[in-house]
Amino acid sequence: MLALILEHIKTKKAVYLLVAISLLIYDASLIIPTKVVQSLVDHMSHDQLSQVSLRNHIFILIVATFLSYATAYLWHLKLFQEAVAFKSHLQQRAFKKLVLMRTPYYDKFRSGDMMTRFSTDVEALMDFIGYGLMIILYAGGMFAFIIPTMFFISWQMTLIGMIPIVLGVFLTYFMTKKQELLVEEAREAISTLSDQVLETVEGIRVMRAYSKKDFLATEFERKTGAIAEKWNRIASIRGLYFPVFTTMIALSTILVLVTGLSFLQKGLISLGQVLALQLYLVSLIEPFSMLADFILVFQTGNTSFAKLNQVIQTGDDMEEDGTKSLAKIEIIRLKDYSFRYPKSNHDTLKKLNLTLKQGQTLGIIGKTGSGKTSLVRQFLRQYPKGEGLLEVNGCDILDYKRKALESHIGYVPQEHILFSKTVWQNIAMGKSGAEESDILAAIETASFTEDLAHLSQGLETEIGERGLSISGGQKQRIAIARAFLGQPDLLILDDSLSAVDARTEAAIIANIQSERQGKTSIIVSHRLSAIQHADWIIVLEDGEIVEEGKPSDLYQLGGWYYQQYLRQEGKEVRDVSI
């Protein structure tokens, strides 16, 4: 954590130098009044206080007061402005990492945990570089000015007065260890709570349907109670710091007073100096009491840094980016290609052999869990490449720049991800600088024109978070229109017609045939009607191609495709395996 903060400070040397200087002046201005009081008392005790001397002392007090207010405003403003800038920089740095990472990266973090790292943890680091750094500079400056000044007055009395304070420091160390464990536990509890909140928001309709509101409320209450209990325990430890140090300072004051009277009788010290030592000790109460805040801010910041640093330093285990550009996708070839997920012990795809040429449409069908989505993910490079050959235009897919490959692919996943924006904005993501005519053409291809007319504000209709205000079929067609908009060389529809009716499906398929002449398409579906126009169909089972060919050829084989065809046509099926 300290390395990250020092890196930030180095980039803003001038600002932090100004903050440090202003804080030192501020600290000095706070101890000047004590020095003035010492001088006044000594002058009065020796009957040496004149009108001129009194005016001079008052003038010094006024200057010190002005300096303290002016410098306090300056360092407050600059220090906390930079803390906000640091927070913004850190969030941007982490977010840039997120958008570059592939699917394996996101498998390593829970969604709620990721949210906590981006919000609570970044705030904790901002608190440290703002409030925490202020405590370091302020308290450090006070110690640097006060303790040497006390030694200059009387090193013997200062050493005696420091005995209880040193004892207080040791007690603080042991309390700190216990508090550190509680801070880590509280941080994990907050992360778990964020997970539940996110899951509840995303699945609220299901929760209501199954009448789980009371259960969720009870569970939420339990988790928030656990967090509160941990922070209460932290507060109970933190609350001990101030009494400990005020008690130690009080003991130091008594020791200095008793010793001072003895020294005063012997003529080794003046009355003003004894009083000054007392006031200096009292001035140490605030810096020491702020130690409790600093310890908590440091521990929270250190724990949060470890969590946030995981986000920044963790990789996605993907291969290095290629160097080749790609003009267009002409042919895709797999030979003896196998793939397994990073945490799996068995292959999801096994020895696949497939060739897909420009202009062809490939249909992929199979039972649930047969590897259909896993196969299309290989073309998208969402996971590290498996074993065997996977080529695009005769070159290994890893040879190409990811961005170059992605620019030629349009993808509609099963989840039909939409954003809390307008219909226009969601579709326009498919192509930079898209015109209205382009968007309307994509909408027509996705058979969404009629639905658009019924939306309250047409293209400017807000669809809500994850498209909550529209139906599942409308979500799918907006996602399809987004993929169509860019006119990609390769269009992948991963079971993207499951929520539309048969008439709409037929219209979309017809549009694909007419609008994508000479372009390649891959359609994954459970409905055979969606792939009847395909040039080639493969049937997957346990990651293997068990049937392949044209639709008419597969029908004649009498295998899984044939049985599914009869089933979906409502005819009698014998020995169906689904």
Q: What is the pLDDT of residues 73-82, one digit of tens each?
A: 998 899 888 8
What is the tens place of the pLDDT at every residue in 425-470? 888 988 888 888 889 999 998 888 888 888 888 888 888 766 667 8
Last residue of a domain, one of 103, 121, 153: 153
498-503-507 Cα angle (round to 5)? 90
Is 361 part of a structural domain of the chain?
yes
pLDDT at 485 over 80: yes
Q: d(Cα 164, Cα 335) in Å, to the nearest integer?
A: 78
Q: d(Cα 548, Cα 303) in Å, to the nearest integer?
A: 54
Pick from 159, 154, 155, 164: which is nearest to 38 by CA? 154
Q: d(Cα 442, Cα 460) in Å, to the nearest integer?
A: 16
Is 11 part of a structural domain of the chain?
yes
pLDDT at 529 over 60: yes
Is 572 part of a structural domain of the chain?
no
Handedness of CA 292, 294, 296, 298 (dihedral sign): negative
Q: Tell me, yes or no, whether 28 and 89 share the same domain.
A: yes
Strands across the sheet containing 331-339:
349-357, 331-339, 387-392, 395-396
pLDDT at 48 over 80: no
Q: Tell me, yes or no, whether 369 and 427 share the same domain.
A: no
The phi-psi region of residue 190 (left if phi > 0; otherwise alpha if psi is between -120 and 50; otherwise beta) is alpha
How many domains is the chain built from?
Answer: 3
pLDDT the model gives residue 174: 76
Q: d(Cα 256, Cα 275) in Å, to the nearest integer?
A: 10
Is 495 part of a structural domain of the chain?
yes
Measured CA distances, 121 to 3, 305, 310, 571 (Å): 17, 7, 12, 59
Average pLDDT over residues 300-304: 81
Cβ atoms of 427 and 483 within 8 Å: the answer is: no
Cβ atoms of 396 and 383 within 8 Å: the answer is: no
Q: Tell me, yes or no, whether 424 and 494 share the same domain.
A: no
CATH number of the domain within which 483 lies: 3.40.50.300
Q: Tell me, yes or no, whether 31 and 146 share the same domain.
A: yes
Q: d(Cα 427, Cα 471) in Å, to the nearest integer?
A: 16
**What SS3 class is residue 179?**
helix
pLDDT the model gives residue 578: 39
Is 166 part of a structural domain of the chain?
no
Q: Tell me, yes or no, whether 523 and 459 share the same domain.
A: no
Cβ-count burial of 345 within 10 angstroms (0-12 exposed, 13-18 middle, 19+ buried)? Answer: exposed
Confidence of residue 416 (pLDDT cuts 50, 70, 90): confident
Last residue of a domain, one of 134, 153, 172: 153
Calculate the CA dihedral of residues 100, 106, 111, 117 and round it to 10 degrees.
-60
Cβ atoms of 274 and 264 within 8 Å: the answer is: yes
Q: Tell me, yes or no, whether 499 and 527 share the same domain.
A: yes
Average pLDDT over residues 289-313: 81
The phi-psi region of residue 90 (left if phi > 0; otherwise alpha if psi is between -120 and 50; otherwise beta) is alpha
Q: Tell me, yes or no, whether 23 and 12 share the same domain.
A: yes
Q: Tell me, yes or no, whether 478 and 353 share the same domain.
A: no
Is 288 part of a structural domain of the chain?
no
Q: Tell me, yes or no, whether 352 and 446 share the same domain.
A: no
Is 173 part of a structural domain of the chain?
no
Cβ atoms of 288 and 172 within 8 Å: the answer is: no
Q: d(Cα 38, Cα 280) in Å, to the nearest integer?
A: 11
Question: In 491-536, which ranges are continuous DSSP H helix?
Answer: 502-515
Q: Tell me, yes or no, whether 111 and 65 share the same domain.
A: yes
Structural domain that includes position 461: 414-487
Q: Tell me, yes or no, whether 434 and 498 share the same domain.
A: no
Q: Is pLDDT larger for residue 338 or for residue 103? A: 338
Q: What is the pTM of this model?
A: 0.70
Name, in order, each residue with C-beta under 8 angstroms of 182's C-beta and a sequence gap of 6 or more.
Answer: 230, 233, 234, 237
Least confident of 189-193, 400-404, 535-539, 556-560: 189-193
Is 536 part of a structural domain of the chain?
yes
Least confident of 202-211, 218-227, 274-283: 202-211
Phi, psi of 107 (to 5 degrees): -70, -15
Q: Tell me, yes or no, whether 393 and 446 share the same domain.
A: no
Tokens encoding 81: 């402005």
Best-predicted range by mean pLDDT (84-88, 175-179, 519-523): 519-523
Tokens encoding 157: 């009395």
Tell me how far apart the terminal alpha carbons of the chain are, to the nearest angstrom.
Answer: 55
pLDDT the model gives residue 333: 96
What is the tens place of the pLDDT at every residue in 363-376? 999 998 899 999 99
Q: d(Cα 475, Cα 473) in Å, to the nearest integer?
A: 5
Least confident of 256-270, 435-449, 453-467, 554-568: 453-467
Phi, psi of 105 (to 5 degrees): -65, -45
